[in-house]
């Protein structure tokens, strides 16, 4: 049986276009336990949707958004991506790409990581990072993680958050030029 949170993650993934609608439709038919978690009316609406219809994305949004706990899911997703960047063993290109998208969607606390990704990807879109640049990205990811851990950044919805940090802790908003300059200076040991 599929857990409630796993279902909500799948709902979120289809709305974010990380899962194709055709794949989601097959997933829905294969998970009748959706009815146990969300009730018969919800499940009947979900299996009755015209998944090949012109307005399926809007229909899914109207049906699924009310049952997705965005603060919890966004918090979890952001922390996972920050952990990948902060680690030493993971390939960070996908995580940084997602972080860049999140920054563009309004998460300004990800500014340095997002702009670093854009700069380091270059015109070809191929991410090239020196050892020292990777260390700077790890340091920034850990700094942001510490704000989540201290409750100074709290997710309140989809692309919505409360930033309870002191102004001096918002380096990515106040000192971005010096941060990017430091990133560029550390490009020498590629």
What pLDDT, in 10s, does the model give residues 44-92? Answer: 999 999 999 999 999 999 999 999 999 999 999 999 999 999 998 778 9
Range of the domain at 22: 4-67
In the listed set 29, 45, 67, which residue is the last one of a domain according to the structure?
Answer: 67
pTM: 0.80
Contact (Cβ atoms closer than 8 angstroms) between residue 121 and residue 99: no
190 domain residue, yes or no: no
Looking at the structure, do residues 75 and 157 belong to the same domain, yes or no? yes
Looking at the structure, do residues 93 and 178 belong to the same domain, yes or no? yes
Length of the chain equals 190
What pLDDT, in 10s, does the model give residues 92-141? Answer: 999 999 999 999 999 999 999 999 999 888 777 788 888 899 999 999 99
Name the domain count of the chain: 2
Looking at the structure, do residues 122 and 151 belong to the same domain, yes or no? yes
- The pLDDT value recorded for residue 177 is 83
Looking at the structure, do residues 56 and 91 belong to the same domain, yes or no? no
Token duo for residue 105: 């969607």
165 contact partners, CB below 8 Å, separation of at least 6: 147, 152, 153
Confidence band of 144 (pLDDT split at 50, 70, 90)? very high
- The pLDDT value recorded for residue 140 is 95
How much is the average pLDDT of 144-154?
A: 97
């Amino acid at each position: 049986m599929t857990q409630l949170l796993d279902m909500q993650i799948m709902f979120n993934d289809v709305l974010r276009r990380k899962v194709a609608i055709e794949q989601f439709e097959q997933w829905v038919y294969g998970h009748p336990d959706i009815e146990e978690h969300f009730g018969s009316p919800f499940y009947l609406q979900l299996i009755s949707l015209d998944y090949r219809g012109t307005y399926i994305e809007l229909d899914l949004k109207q049906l699924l958004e009310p049952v997705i706990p965005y603060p919890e899911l966004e918090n979890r997703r952001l922390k996972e991506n920050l952990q990948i960047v902060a680690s030493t063993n993971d390939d960070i290109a996908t995580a940084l790409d997602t972080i860049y998208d999140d920054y563009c969607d309004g998460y300004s606390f990800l500014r340095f990581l997002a702009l670093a990704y854009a700069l380091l990807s270059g015109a070809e879109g191929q991410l090239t990072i020196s050892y020292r640049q990777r260390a700077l990205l790890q340091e920034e990811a850990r700094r942001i993680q510490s704000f989540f851990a201290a409750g100074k950044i709290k997710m309140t919805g989809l692309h919505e958050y409360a930033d309870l940090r002191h102004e001096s802790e918002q380096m990515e908003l106040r000192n971005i030029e010096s941060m990017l300059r430091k990133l560029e200076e550390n490009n020498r040991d590629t």
